[in-house]
Amino acid sequence: MRIKNVLPVLIIFLMTLSVNAREKLKIVSTTSDLASIAREIGKDRVDIVSFSNGTQDPHFIEPRPSMIMKLKKADLVLLVGMNFDVWLEPLVANARNYKIKTGNSGYLDLSQGIKKLGIPQGKVDGSSGHIHPQGNPHYWLDPENVKVMANAITLKLIELSPVSADYFKANLRDFSSKIDRRIKTWQSTLKPYKNDKIITYHQSWSYFANRFNLDIACEIEPKPGIPPSPGHLQKVLQKINHNKIKAVLMEVFYDPGPAEFLADSTGINVVIVPNSVGGTKQVKDYFGLIDTIVNELAEGMK
Amino acid sequence: MKIISKHLIFVFLFAALFLANEKNLFSKENLNNTSAIELPDISLVGNILGTFGSDDHLKNNKKLVVEETELAIQGYLYPAIRMDVIMSLHRHDSTYQAELEEAYVSFLELYLPGAGIHIPDLSVKAGKKLLDIGKINAVHPHHWNYVTRPDVLNSFFGEHGLSGQGLSFSYLLPAPFFCQWDIGAWYIDSADSHDDEEHSENENVDGMSHYNYLTRLWTSFELSQDQELETGLNAITGYGSHYQEHKDRITVTGFDITYEKFISSYQKLFFQNEVYMLKRELPEGTFNRSGFYSFLNYRMNKYWDCGLRYDYVEAPSTDTIIMSHLSAIVTHSLTEMTKARIQYTKSLRDSDYAIYCQLTFGTGPHSHTLE
């Protein structure tokens, strides 16, 4: 008798669970940064999977068949664009999910609406190194750009789930005001180093340097994606000595050897930081990412 | 492989070079919106190979030759329909022959507007292509982690792999993990694997011809965020590459298993195995042969790979000939498509050895189907 009474309640409970599960939008992002931003907007009404975890060089993610299944079930795919995540294309092609194909409702290239830096002039080929024809794609490292990205994600989520429009808009307002406050803090931390020169390993810090008024004197790589030769390191070394540069800023996944050589030769500080959420265990969201970069760079510039 | 007019290839090459040099096409505006110019992806890949070995019958022994150049023209025709055309200039007996390696159209989902037919999980490929059997047959040599084709594929499928003209269907099964079932019907010209010229010289190589039917069940499991395990069950049945002469029917069954462990951003452990059983039915009787390869590769960093491959195969000839080789491979990657590689291969049944030095190079947006 008791089972008979409990059964309808259990069925209704399970049905409610399944309806709630269905209501959640399934999002796949190519990077953990995009996932972090989307999570701020969608919160508990989205399920997000990222194909890279922040410790990997996102230029070199290898497509795997298991990724196809995640894309097949996705309502929305978020990508950096600008030829940064070109490895996504064969996966989308094989996912048999019409929604997420280029230009369809479930496809969002977040580089749209971003003021792009580093668009190459003239012919683009291998002589320029690993260059992106549409410009430098590391735009998420400027928090002002992240506001533009969050806005685009919000509009897309509203389009896909209009019933949650107010919820997403409220989350966007919270996120934008929080990031505005944090931008002031980050700017104030780096204010003493305004217009100071730094060295970076790869051309990935242009947007960050632009936002925080830092001057990138040169890169350790002679050209994007090309490892430094001893001759090039000598030129960098002279530049460090001539300009009294205090810090090398580089990502966690690059070879620290050349930067350590420069540090041994000149005493320059090597600041190794993640450039994506999850790049170190402490960096769990976008705010943590920029906090880490800003604080460690400020320490290195002293 | 069927030879098409050299003149036609040169027209294609000329057209590709003309398009690539057309200033207006690569203006800043167009680079930012390449779709506006409706230009397909055009790429060129080359393979330079130096060979030094103890066996005088080794192909191009003690020579450095351009083994192959490949021109690929690829792009979308319609939202879920893409084309891949791959032509090559291929070295044969000290001359270069133009070949149509692949030319096929992929319907990424079966959708016939107006007919009310839409099966999103079913894709169709039609045309000429390298057959999707196992992990390596459909992959072009410049994408391999080694120089030479594994012995078992060489012996059972021909020295240029199994390539045919026909149709295949791929269905993504409704499973919680990746599970794709392929079936196809292919007509294989024996000339496609160049067996006509080579058969008399090499009895260890057979291959297939005429109508063949292929099926493959491909599964993949994400063991963790940094580990993947792929398996495949394969079967093909049809006729031998010299059916007119031998009246032989061939059935090859096999399985493949691949494990990948992504250790760090660039470090990766890769372990791949393919096992095949061949049944050859001749008027004078039936015989069974088997073979496999096992390949272990460790990517040390962004630039360096080292690997070991063990090959074992019983040749598909009437005499029982067993071959086994051990190969050590070191690869230096300059870019994704430009690599320098050295392979040392030692026969485990006699004293023969071979050293291969390879440089593969490429430019342009080049892609192959998911491997």
Number of domains, chain A: 2
Are residue A193 and residue A112 in the same domain, yes or no?
no
The mean of the pLDDT values for chain A is 89
Among B172, B303, B363, select the one facing A96 at the smallest CB separation: B172
Say how far apart CA B73 and CA B19 lie, in whole Å: 12
Contact of A57 with chain B, judged by CB distance below 8 Å, is answered with yes
| Phi, psi for residue B355 in degrees, rounded to 5 | -120, 130
* pLDDT tens-digit map of A142-172: 999 999 999 999 999 999 999 999 999 999 9
Among B230, B266, B303, select the one facing A65 at the smallest CB separation: B230
Are residue A165 and residue A194 in the same domain, yes or no?
no
Among B28, B218, B268, select the one facing A119 at the smallest CB separation: B28
Are residue A139 and residue A19 in the same domain, yes or no?
yes
Which of A71, A86, A94, A112 best probes binding to B when mutated, by most B CB atoms within 10 angstroms? Answer: A94
Which residue reads 């292919």 in tokens?
B186
Contact of A125 with chain B, judged by CB distance below 8 Å, is answered with yes
Q: With an 8 Å Cβ cutoff, are B26 and A124 in contact?
A: yes
**Which residue segments constitute the domains of chain B, with CATH numbers given?**
6-363 (2.40.160.10)
Closest CA to A34 of A296, A282, A276: A276
The pair of structure tokens assigned to B147 is 């120089």
Are residue A130 and residue A81 in the same domain, yes or no?
yes
Q: Which residues of A touch B168 (CB under 8 A)?
A: none
CATH number of the domain where residue A262 is located:
3.40.50.1980
Residue A132 has pLDDT above 60, yes or no: yes
Say how far apart CA A301 and CA B361 lie, in whole Å: 42
Say how far apart CA A156 and CA A10 lie, in whole Å: 35
Are residue A158 and residue A253 in the same domain, yes or no?
no
Q: What value does the mean pLDDT take over residues A165-181? A: 96
Nearest-Cα residue of chain A relative to residue B180: A65
Residue A133 binned pLDDT confidence (cut-offs 50, 70, 90): confident
Sign of the dihedral defined by the CA atoms of residues A82, A87, A88, A89, in that order: positive
Q: What value does the mean pLDDT take over residues A82-108? A: 89
Beta bridge partners of A46: A25
Are residue A178 and residue A191 in the same domain, yes or no?
no
Residue pair B140/B152 in contact (Cβ under 8 Å)? The answer is no
Q: With an 8 Å Cβ cutoff, are A69 and B178 in contact?
A: yes
Q: What is the count of residue pairs from A and B with beta carbons less than 8 Å apart?
A: 88
Residue B3 DSSP code:
B
Q: Residue A92: helix, strand or coil by DSSP?
A: helix
* pLDDT tens-digit map of A237-287: 999 999 889 999 999 988 899 999 999 999 999 999 999 999 998 999 999
Contact of A31 with chain B, judged by CB distance below 8 Å, is answered with no
Which of A133, A168, A183 finishes a domain?
A: A183
pLDDT at B91: 87
Q: With an 8 Å Cβ cutoff, are B32 and A91 in contact?
A: no
Residue range(s) defining the domain that contains residue A256:
187-301
Beta bridge partners of A107: A77
Residue A14 has pLDDT above 60, yes or no: no
Among B28, B120, B265, select the one facing A96 at the smallest CB separation: B120
Q: Which residues of B touch A133 (CB under 8 A)?
A: 31-32
Contact of A130 with chain B, judged by CB distance below 8 Å, is answered with yes
Say how far apart CA A90 and CA B370 lie, in whole Å: 6
pLDDT at B282: 86
The pair of structure tokens assigned to B252 is 């090859």
Are residue A149 and residue A245 in the same domain, yes or no?
no
Q: How many CB atoms lie within 10 A of CB B167?
A: 15
pLDDT at B3: 45
pLDDT one digit per residue (tens) for chain B, 371 residues: 444 455 555 555 555 555 544 444 433 333 444 445 678 889 999 999 999 999 888 888 999 999 999 999 999 898 888 999 999 998 887 889 999 999 999 998 887 777 788 888 999 999 999 999 999 999 999 899 999 999 999 999 988 889 999 999 999 999 999 999 999 999 988 655 544 444 444 555 677 888 899 999 999 999 998 999 999 999 999 988 777 777 889 999 999 999 999 998 889 999 999 999 999 988 888 889 999 999 999 999 989 999 999 999 998 877 778 999 999 999 999 877 889 999 999 999 899 999 999 999 988 776 655 55
Confidence check on the interface: ipTM exceeds 0.85, yes or no = no
Which of A146, A166, A183 finishes a domain?
A: A183
Q: Residue A212: helix, strand or coil by DSSP?
A: coil
Q: Minimal Cα–Cα distance from A53 to chain B, Å?
A: 9
Contact of B262 with chain A, judged by CB distance below 8 Å, is answered with yes
Q: Which residues of A touch B217 (CB under 8 A)?
A: none
Q: Minimal Cα–Cα distance from A59 to chain B, Å?
A: 10
Are residue A192 and residue A169 in the same domain, yes or no?
no
pLDDT at A277: 95
Q: Which residues of B touch A223 (CB under 8 A)?
A: none
Are residue A239 and residue A179 in the same domain, yes or no?
no
Q: With an 8 Å Cβ cutoff, are A98 and B120 in contact?
A: yes
Q: What value does the mean pLDDT take over residues A112-117? A: 92
Are residue A179 and residue A203 in the same domain, yes or no?
no
Q: What value does the mean pLDDT take over residues A212-226? A: 92
Residue A18 binned pLDDT confidence (cut-offs 50, 70, 90): very low
Are residue A162 and residue A243 in the same domain, yes or no?
no
DSSP string covering A225-280, please?
TPPPPHHHHHHHHHHHHHHT--EEEEETTS--HHHHHHHHHH-PEEEEE-SSTTSS
| Phi, psi for residue B273 in degrees, rounded to 5 | -140, 140
Which of A183, A203, A219 finishes a domain?
A: A183
Among A57, A126, A255, select the one facing B335 at the smallest CB separation: A126
Residue A302 binned pLDDT confidence (cut-offs 50, 70, 90): confident
Are residue A42 and residue A162 in the same domain, yes or no?
yes
| Phi, psi for residue A272 in degrees, rounded to 5 | -100, 115
Which of A60, A66, A202 best probes binding to B when mutated, by most B CB atoms within 10 angstroms? Answer: A66
Q: Which residues of B touch A69 (CB under 8 A)?
A: 176-178
Cα distances (angstroms) measured from residue B271 to each of B257, B277, B296: 8, 21, 5
Residue A98 has pLDDT above 80, yes or no: yes
